[in-house]
Amino acid sequence: MEYVEKIIDEKIQGKALVTENKKNNTKKLFIESYGCQMNMNDSEIVAAILDKEGYNTTQILEEADLVLVNTCSIREKAETTVRKRLQKYNAVKQVNKNMKVGVLGCMAERLKEKFLEEEKIVDLVVGPDAYKDLPNLLEEVNAGRDAVNVILSKEETYGDISPVRLNSNGVTAFVSITRGCDNMCTFCVVPFTRGRERSRDPKSILEEIQSMVDRNFKEITLLGQNVDSFLWYGGGLKKDFGKASEMAQATAVNFAQLLDMCATEFPKTRFRFATSNPQDISLDVIHAIAKHKNICKYLHLPVQSGSNNMLKAMNRQHTREEYIELIDNIFKIVPEMSLSQDMIVGFCGETEEDHQDTLDLMKYVKYDFGFMFTYSERPGTLAAKKMVDDVPFATKKRRLQEIIDLQQEHALYRTQQHLGKTEEFLIEGTSKKNPNEWKGRNTQNTVAVFDKGDYKLGDFVMVKVEDCTSATLKGTVVGYSDNN
């Protein structure tokens, strides 16, 4: 699983999510999400389903009738964090006897027996493909029975659910276009917790985007475990595409075509997407980015390691040389492209030479951003079953720091390339450090801060970049862009 949100070192973020509430809803839902942006989007789907069951969201845990935690199994740290939260929930439950506690998402599928039968710390367990069954499961819980549904689906995409936007800034939103993953990377548990790849009907995707545009959202991020695998041929798993009729295959829509459709139909809306996979992305996608001004010039392209030995051990299905060739082609087609990476440090059998190969690759690419982690063994993966986690922790930490230091150097180099330029930024919110400043992002996903002036949230503005750190640009607004 490639992370969408920027989590550096070993920090996992959790959020209590809330939205506008309906007056007629009488029950209160406290929902907290951990891990990738797909989980955040899933929580919005859950909130929409439970909204129809009479639940309003709340940020006050103690007053909740139903507490749900949407979980991540990608790394051990995430699971440890969630278990601590469950202890907190159950302490509150001792006071609020009517409160029900449930686990959603990837940990739900992996640890269902432990949660319900062995540890008895939750009332219901719901996997990523079973959220529509929540009303039935809650009836089981209210009848005094444990409730579980972690069945993985071949069809479910939630394309018919209009997500409730939780903790929204009203400017940017996420739209899921695929679910599941067929890339059996040896370190990753996602194919086992989220199932096989299937894509969502483009018509429903465009309808959801239209609903966001109607509400004045300005930027949409298309989400998937692997967006480049998007392939709609009438429904079904991607692996079954070869069995489809000639007509279905001839009229199928791939990701490059979907991108073109979105950008063409909504020319005033900016589009991003995540996450890509080096083995699956096509140059047609890069040409689509070059063709449309409103497709952001930013690509999250995880490599995980710069060593062919490690890439083979990880079952990444691409070599170092193929990755470099892809990078070269990307910059030829879109010279101003911004790139970010995922890097796993200290995978099974990683030598010092392998580590140096990773550093050398980073020096070649000079990524704008980085998402870097030490390897932690995940139960159920092929690596856990067949490989030895033999790199000492101290060595992992030292190598990780070297990678972080190099990424910081490259990040500063990339931000410095913006100095003196006047670029378009979308105002997303108030700067965390200065309430008198806005923060916004340019097409390369780089953050800038600037005086608020008379500008407002959601405006596209032109900013002259005058200073920078390795993470943030500083500038002065010179006027509106022509995108307003």
Annotated binding site for [4Fe-4S] cluster: 36, 72, 106, 181, 185, 188
Q: CA 202, CA 341: separation in Å to the nearest integer? A: 28
336 bridge partner residues: none
DSSP one-letter code for 19? -
Instruction: Say if strands 460-468 and 422-430 run parallel, antiparallel, or are unpaired.
Output: antiparallel
Q: CA 4, CA 264: separation in Å to the nearest integer? A: 25
Give every strand in the sheet of 172-176, ordered side by side.
172-176, 219-223, 270-274
Q: CA 90, CA 102: separation in Å to the nearest integer? A: 11
Return the H-helix or E-strand segment holding 40. helix 37-51
Q: CA 395, CA 388: separation in Å to the nearest integer? A: 15
Tokens found for residue 327: 């990078």
* CB-based contact 471:447 (threshold 8 Å): yes
Phi-psi region of 155 (alpha: psi -120 to 50; beta: other; left: phi over 0): alpha
Residue ranges of the binding site: 36, 72, 106, 181, 185, 188
DSSP one-letter code for 104? E
Give the count of beta carbons closer than 10 Å to the beta carbon of residue 206: 16
* CB-based contact 457:169 (threshold 8 Å): yes
For 341, 370, 471, the CA distances from 468, given in Å and listed in that order, are 21, 18, 8
The letter for the amino acid at 381 is: T
The letter for the amino acid at 471 is: A
> In degrees to the nearest 10, what's the CA dihedral of 75, 76, 80, 81?
-20
Q: CA 251, CA 483: separation in Å to the nearest integer? A: 33
* CB-based contact 156:129 (threshold 8 Å): yes
Return the H-helix or E-strand segment holding 90. helix 76-93
